[in-house]
Amino acid sequence: MMKILRTRKEITAFLNILRERASGVNPEIEKAVRNILSDVKKNGDAAVEKYTRKFDSHNLTLKLTSAEFKRSAKTADKKIIKALELSARRIQDFHERQKEKSWSFKKNGALLGQIIRPIERIGVYVPGGKASYPSTVLMNVIPAQVAGVEDIALCVPTPNGEINPYVMAAIELLGVKEVYRIGGAQAVGAMAYGTKSVRKVDKIVGPGNIYVALAKKIVFGEVDIDMIAGPSEILIIADETANPSFIAADLLSQAEHDEMASSILATDSDILAEKVLRELRVQLNVLKRKHIALKSLERFGAVIKTKSIAKAIDMANEIAPEHLEIMTKNPEKDVKHIRNAGAVFLGQWTPEPLGDYSAGPNHTLPTGGTARFSSPLGVYDFIKRTSLLQFDKKGFMLLSDTVEAIADIEGLEAHANTIRIRRGH
């Protein structure tokens, strides 16, 4: 079970464990991933089919037909379909507000601006091993569609050839036509390098296990990627006004993901800390994924006792968590001091799972402290910005001496010569 950390020495040791968790890579796994990618790059479909037989235990054609996923989608519970439709509308509504427009201005004989264009083709990885996630389809495809991406391919592993009807229902809902039953590093390789069956994409998005994450990291540069996502994490800042049962439930919502997930409470209240630990024991006993959650709490969970909420906020900014909940007397005031977090959830009625599924903001968030310098997935991840420049002779002459002087200083004679030649005309 989680421990209460009170001293700076205890807290520092725990934070070091979190950092090691985020950065640690098994060299054997990395070697295996590189071998798979190399094989896919060299042998294309033959390699993808080989790994699909090995890891997913089927020999079906790589591409799902429209009839196949439509047939599967029809078996989905109508109640879940309605939930997906409502979530899709809210996600669309939120992301519509992220659109950027091309712009330009004229000044002193020059037209300068920026052209906004969508990325032409993207690939989305949708996990499908131990569990399947229709929410991943919504969160990755909708912002791409809002950005104007027209060419979208999905890779969805189908262990033993089984197709998840809820993933297919989400795909059908969004009108995606190109779907492949490929998983793991081989799916990333197929999308990054292209094969006879899978046309090369420009960007790969979507979560996955360590093999998928490493594969995305390795192919970055060949294609763009969204981020290197690590294990899930939550940090809750709470004072004596918070409900301990709510806090325990929210900590467990992350701990049940996997044994590497991190769940942290930072509080200035000893009484609340003890109540949360008692509530955790009660709620843990009724979870189906109890053993996973318990291992997560034991290894990467903690209650950090701080002298004040201000100190708890400092701790949150140091950790830069994926999910940050603030359950204090005045969360709207406290959030003004938050600098580093993937997403912030204010008040006792805003549990993190709202953001996972239906609130609207994207659930693809920076992990492992990367919220210090990166952002949630959004429409801006699916666009390109192109600079626009046009000068008339007057504008050219106004800058010519400046450009020539800098080019000469840098020793780039041909650069300066483009100015000199024009100046004589």
In angstroms, rounded to a whole number, what is the distance separating the alpha carbons of residues 177 and 154? 9
In angstroms, rounded to a whole number, what is the distance separating the alpha carbons of residues 357 and 23? 28
Of the residues 49, 178, 256, 322, only one is catalytic, namely: 322
Pick from 101, 169, 98, 183: nearest CA to 135: 169
Joined tokens for residue 231: 């294990």
Of the residues 95, 257, 323, 363, only one is catalytic, namely: 323
* Strand 110-118 with 383-391, pairing: antiparallel
Pick from 138, 190, 128: nearest CA to 159: 128
3-class state of residue 294 by DSSP: helix
DSSP H helices in 57-183: 66-73, 78-96, 134-147, 165-174
> Could you confirm whether 323 is annotated as catalytic?
yes
* Range 44-225: architecture per CATH: 3-Layer(aba) Sandwich (3.40)
> Could you confirm whether 322 is annotated as catalytic?
yes
In angstroms, rounded to a whole number, what is the distance separating the alpha carbons of residues 92 and 18? 34
Q: Which residue has the tokens 């389809």?
A: 137
Instruction: Kindly list the domain boundaries of the chain, sorted by start residue.
Output: 3-24+230-372, 44-225, 392-423
Joined tokens for residue 68: 């196949």
pLDDT at position 26: 83
pLDDT at position 131: 65
* Cβ pair 160, 56 in contact under 8 A: yes
Joined tokens for residue 277: 């630990």
Pick from 53, 30, 33: nearest CA to 41: 33
| Segment (H or E) for 298 | helix 290-300
- Distance between start and end Cα atoms, the chain: 79
Which residue ranges in the chain fall short of pLDDT 50? none
Q: Could you tell me which CATH number the domain at 3-24+230-372 has?
A: 3.40.50.1980
Q: What are the phi and psi torsion angles at 50 (to 5°)?
A: -65, -45
In angstroms, rounded to a whole number, what is the distance separating the alpha carbons of residues 384 and 116? 6
The predicted-structure confidence for 66-96, as pLDDT tens digits, reads as follows 899 889 999 999 999 999 999 999 999 999 9
* Cβ pair 352, 261 in contact under 8 A: no
The predicted-structure confidence for 90-145, as pLDDT tens digits, reads as follows 999 999 999 999 999 999 999 999 999 999 999 999 997 556 799 999 999 999 99
Give percent of the chain with pLDDT exceeding 90: 92
User: Who contacts 86 (Cβ-Cβ below 8 Å, separation ≥6)?
Assistant: 358
Amino acid (1-letter code) at residue 80: I
In angstroms, rounded to a whole number, what is the distance separating the alpha carbons of residues 132 and 241? 37
Establish whether domains 3-24+230-372 and 44-225 are of one fold: yes
In angstroms, rounded to a whole number, what is the distance separating the alpha carbons of residues 205 and 223? 11
pLDDT at position 130: 55
Joined tokens for residue 84: 């997906």
The partner residues of 54 in beta bridges, in order of sequence, read none
Measured N-to-C along each axis, helices 165-174 and 134-147 cross at an angle, to the nearest 10 degrees, of 10
In angstroms, rounded to a whole number, what is the distance separating the alpha carbons of residues 150 and 405? 45
pTM of the model: 0.94
pLDDT at position 19: 86
